[in-house]
Amino acid sequence: MAKLMTMIAAAGMAAGIALTPGSASASQAASTDLKYYYECGTSICVKTYNNWGSYGLNSYGDHLYAGGWSGYVKVSSGKKIYFCDWQTIQLQLEPKVTELFVSRLKASWCQ
């Protein structure tokens, strides 16, 4: 096992990858999940999405963290608000959010 770990570490060093134990933890790493924050009563709630698709919503959005996804939010006026990977978009001044589209592939507007 030690020999295997040494071989993996050597391959990582050759590729410029540092294998430092404890250098990153799950709590430190950025989440790849999309998080939609919305008004629920007198609080702000969060719904997490980790799969592509079109989701029907009927809520007042506060903000959205895109995680590793791209897509758009559609509001009741018909306006679409586009987002790309790792962006946070503010929605406080928008009408009700009616749809969330999460793209299966990187969206064309995110080049």
pLDDT of residue 84: 96
Element (H, E) at 10: helix 2-14
Cα separation of 72 and 16, whole Å? 36
* Residue that is written with structure tokens 């050597």 in the block: 10
Q: What is the pLDDT of residue 12?
A: 44
Structure tokens at 85: 């990977």
Question: Residue 39, exposed/middle/buried by CB under 10 A (0-12, 13-18, 19+)?
Answer: middle
Task: Supply the pLDDT for residue 59.
Answer: 96
- Entry field: residues in the chain: 111
Domain annotation for the chain: domains and CATH numbers: 24-105 (2.60.20.30)
pLDDT in tens, 7-27: 444 444 444 434 333 333 344
DSSP 3-state helix, strand, coil percentages of the chain (rounded to 5)? Answer: 15, 40, 45
pLDDT of 90 reads 95
Question: Per-10-residue mean pLDDT for the chain, 111 residues long?
Answer: 44 41 42 93 95 96 96 95 95 91 92 79
pLDDT at 29: 52
Q: What is the pLDDT of residue 30?
A: 59
| pLDDT reported for residue 97 | 97
Structure tokens at 15: 């590729």
Which pLDDT does position 25 carry in this prediction? 37
